Structure 1
Amino acid sequence: MKNICYMMFIFLFVLTACNNEEETRFAQHHASSDVSISEKEQIITKQRITLSAIGDMLIHDGVYHDAQTANGYDFKPMLELVKPYLEETTLSIANQETMIGGAEIGLSSYPSFNSPYEVGDALKDAGVDIVSIANNHTLDRGEKAIQNAIAHWNAIDMVYTGAYQSDQDSEQLRIVEKEGMRVAFLSYTYGTNGIPVPAGKDYLVNLIDPVKMKADIAEAEEQADVTVVSMHFGAEYQRLPNESQKELAQVIADAGGDVVIGHHPHVLQPMEMLKGKNGNETFVVYSLGNFLSSQNELYRRLGGILQIEIEKVSGPVDEVVSIKNPKFIPTFVYYERHRNYKVVPMHQLEPGMLANGEKLHEEIKQHMSQWMPELKFP
């Protein structure tokens, strides 16, 4: 009987010990899991930058004659009222529609443009960081103007995209890193006014080619956090995008591009948010109009400054980029008898500068926000 009791005692002791050991392992496992969850929560980070964009810098002879000085050209006073808006964002991009090939090869206006180097200096001074130079006027004055322009962009440390010095230059993806975020900039044009691209020199201008664009965006998405695509497309002077523009914007969205900035119509076209095939959202402004030009039809004197926030949320598994808080500052190209050119924010128009200015300002606000009610204005 004692042996039986003794054996039962041993069995209960071992069973209790096993249970205690299992409870200890269970507690240790959950303690470890709790620490892991806490660590994961701690490594979720948010980064944010801001981007501003302006439309066509279309330098007609009236503009560069007005900028002429005893020692060259000075376009800086023309941009002094918009400079604060370009400087206040992390990055700013402009569509430089005309090649700044310099006075040494002869300045020229429509239909075959060549502009002073000092246009680039004024953009740099105003806070612009990147210029898109793929457009229908890229080849106006041939390779010499392009090479001269790029040499000057390099001299003033301005990032350019869409036209290049060489094959090697064109293969170098334009990525700008600011505040821990890497932003890639791409640029394409529908054509070059019938001027053929020189044989073997495709690098001189990026033409719209959906296959190439998809490949470029895929590369950009691998190397950068954000991909911004400048598109020279659409029909001139049409205030709404056509089907081709919408289709190309959707191609970019489906490829994973984050922002599409449209140029070429020379008038303002609205903006909207597209959904890509992978569920991503892509911000699109179909045309930012003329920013500085000598065109005199009313809607061709209206442009603006787009401002957006780009936020990246990084977690333990993936990263999500979103475009937030879009803002638009409508502008007007003011001049008197083609003198005293100045880009003026419409909310800063002085009496006498523009007939029915307040009414037109409200019209532009409604026009640009018709597909994006959340769009803000100053």
Structure 2
Amino acid sequence: MSKRTRLFGYSTLILTIILFGIVFIDQVNTTDHEVYTVKSHSKRTENLSAKDFKSSATLTAVGDILIHSLVYNAAKTSNGYDFKPMFSDVKPMLETADITVANQETMIGGHEIGLSTYPSFNSPFEVGDALKDTGVDIVTIANNHTIDRGEKAIQNAINHYNKIGLPYTGAYSSPEDQTVIRTIKKNGITFSFLAYTYGTNGIPVPKDKPYLVNLIDLKIIEKDIKLAKEQSDVVVVSLHFGNEYQRMPSDEQRNIAKTVIGQGADIILGHHPHVLQPMEWIEAEDGHKGFVIYSLGNFLSSQKSIYREIGGILTLTVNKEIQDGATKIEVENPTFQSTYVSRSHRFKIVPLDKASQFGLANAPKMFTDINDHMYKLLPNTKVAQAN
């Protein structure tokens, strides 16, 4: 064997050892906050190779995008609407997550059918463009305003979401569309997304077109979760429920959440109250555990009063590990960054702890009070302080 061949062999061996060490260090590295870790579910994975696997992904969610006329008028330009400046200060927090979910409260039916505000909303297409630009990966569109302007607004909205490549869930264009479970795969972890609403403000859903919006029906939800679990590692359910402007979840909300977790959901994202409601771990009777945030509040709206002007950004970490053919999924480390909508700055969304620069008096105190509120059902959790 020549000297050159021996040197090449030694170099290859050393490089292999270094790479193995890097992979090993990466796989044993863990996060600093593991107090509130919940094992969502474990299952045998069939037909896997002998190789083990370990990965994680972050899921971020924001609340209601509620486009009143004051908001879309503030976004008006000479040739349309531009909502992107309203999201610019929070864009870095949303686009860095592996998956970001937003509740698009108002249908983006577009200008052609006439824009409108409360109580019967229709919003510009450009709202969807701004969400896509900001880093949103999927929108939930099942809420009490889904059919405000009828089927035309829903179909227009769905057509635009499809045009810009922004997935949606909770309202659909056809029976076939409704049967498709929305999934997103990141870092080897597959998430599924379901969405339902308590009602539609008294406007009846056409009996021959129930696909236009998903209503909360626990039997249907149980069936959908079963299908979703067959196609994904993590089931995320958005529920539009609760009492408007009530800062704590109702007994009905908590009972529904416990039932849905018991049916196999791993994460519940709550909307509708237009104010923030706390986060909680729920353990069902069968031992399955899941996470719920009862209300993410308003992320963008023109509603007045301080608690309706404050929303936030929820972030969760999901871990997946395959070892000896068994898959384990964990949801952990809920963090919440509160936000504020500054009316004096053309409805710009800003971190609450920085909101004193945008006209909110006592912003640091409000930041601490809101965080205390959001974590009150998660005892012993460390609460972040304002900078």
Partner of 2:381: 374
Q: Which residue of 1 aligns with 2:4?
A: none
Report the Cα offset of residue 346 of structure 1.
1.0
In the TM superposition, what is the alpha-carbon distance from 1:181 to its structure 2 partner?
A: 1.1
Change beyond 3 A, Cα 1:123–1:376: farther
1-side partners of 2:285 and 2:226: how far apart? 14
Taking only the aligned residue pairs, the percentage that are identical comes to 53
Shift of residue 229 of structure 1?
0.3
Determine if the alignment matches structure 1 residue 329 to structure 2 residue 337.
yes
Residues 63 and 103 of structure 2 are in contact (CA less than 8 Å); yes or no, is this contact kept in structure 1?
yes
**Contact 1:100-1:120 within 8 A present in 2 as well:** yes
Q: Which amino acid aligns with 2:167?
A: V
Contact 1:234 1:241 in 2 (8 A): yes
Gaps of 5+ in 1: 1-39
The reply on whether 1:251 has 2:259 as its aligned counterpart is: yes
The answer to whether residue 262 in structure 2 is matched with residue 241 in structure 1 is no
1:354 match:
360
Q: Indicate yes or no: 2:86 matched with 1:86.
A: no
**Aligned residue among 335, 341, 346 for 1:340:** 346
For each residue in 1:16-66, what CA deviation from the matched residue of structure 2 results, as whole angstroms up to 9, or x when unmatched? xxxxxxxxxxxxxxxxxxxxxxxx9x7443221001000000000000000
Distance 2:274 2:357 in 1: 25
CA offset at residue 319 of structure 1? 1.9
How far off its partner does 1:376 sit?
Answer: 5.2
**Partner residue in 2 for 1:120:** 128
Partner of 1:221: 229
CA distance, structure 1, for counterparts of residue 242 and residue 281 of structure 2 = 18
Q: 1:193 is paired with a residue of what secondary structure?
A: coil
Is residue 368–residue 384 contact of structure 2 (8 Å, CA) maintained in 1? no
Q: In 2, are the aligned partners of 1:256 and 1:276 still within 8 Å (CA)?
A: no
Moved more, 352-361 or 96-105: 352-361
Q: Compare CA radii of gyration and give the structure with the larger one.
A: 1
Counterparts in 2 of 1:265 and 1:85: CA distance versus 1, 3 Å:
same
Structure-2 separation of matches of 1:115 and 1:250:
34
The normalised TM-score by structure 2 is: 0.85
1:207 and 2:215 are equivalent in the alignment: yes
Give 1:91's aligned amino acid: I
Question: Aligned partners of 1:259 and 1:137: how far apart in 2?
Answer: 23
**CA deviation after TM superposition for structure 1 residue 314, in Å:** 1.8
Counterpart amino acid of residue 90 in structure 2:
V
Contact 1:326/1:374 (8 A) holds in 2: no
Rounded to whole Å, the distance in 2 between the matches of 1:359 and 1:347 is 8
The equivalent of 2:12 in structure 1 is: none
Aligned pairs for 1:1-378 (under 5 A) are 43-336=51-344, 340-351=346-357, 353-372=359-378, 373-374=380-381, 377=384
State the distance in 1 between where 2:358 and 2:294 align.
31
Paired AA for residue 175 in structure 1: T
Q: Given that residues 328 and 376 in structure 1 are in contact (C-alpha distance below 8 angstroms), is that contact kept between their aligned partners in structure 2?
A: no
Question: Are 2:142 and 2:169, in contact at CA under 8 Å, matched by a contact in 1?
Answer: yes
- 2-structure distance, mates of 1:91, 1:233: 23
User: Equivalents in 2 of 1:111, 1:302: separation in Å?
Assistant: 21
Find the aligned partners of 1:375 and 1:63 in 2 and give their Cα distance. 35
Deviation >6 Å, runs of 4+: none
Taking the aligned partners of 1:84 and 1:351, their CA distance within structure 2 comes to: 19
Greater CA drift, 169-178 or 139-148:
169-178
Work out whether residues 266 and 290 of structure 1, in 8 Å CA contact, stay in contact via their aligned partners in 2.
yes
> Counterparts of 2:128 and 2:383 in 1: how far apart (Å)?
29
CA distance in 2, matches of 1:275, 1:199: 36
CA-to-aligned-CA distance 1:55-104 (integer Å, 9 cap, x gap)? 00000000000000000000000000010010111000000000000010
Code of the residue aligned with 1:356 in structure 2: it is N
1-side partners of 2:64 and 2:372: how far apart? Answer: 21
| Residue 371 of structure 1: how far off its partner (Å) | 1.2
Counterpart residue type for residue 377 of structure 2: W
Residue 209 of structure 1 aligns with an amino acid whose one-letter code is: D
TM-score with structure 1 setting the length? 0.87
Q: Alignment length, in residue pairs?
A: 337
The answer (yes or no) to whether the contact 1:107–1:115 under 8 Å persists in 2 is yes
Are the aligned partners of 1:93 and 1:132 in contact in 2 as well (CA < 8 Å)?
Answer: yes
For the aligned residue pairs, the C-alpha RMSD in angstroms reads 1.6
8 Å CA contact 2:169, 2:182 repeated in 1: yes
Per the TM alignment, residue 196 of structure 1 is displaced from its structure 2 partner at its CA by 0.4
Q: Is the 8 A contact 1:291 1:303 kept in 2?
A: yes
Q: What is the one-letter code of the residue matched to 2:141?
A: I
Amino acid at match of 2:202: G
User: Any gaps of 5 or more consecutive residues in structure 2?
Assistant: 1-47
Equivalent pair of 1:175/1:183 in contact (CA under 8 Å):
yes
Corresponding residue of 2:45? none
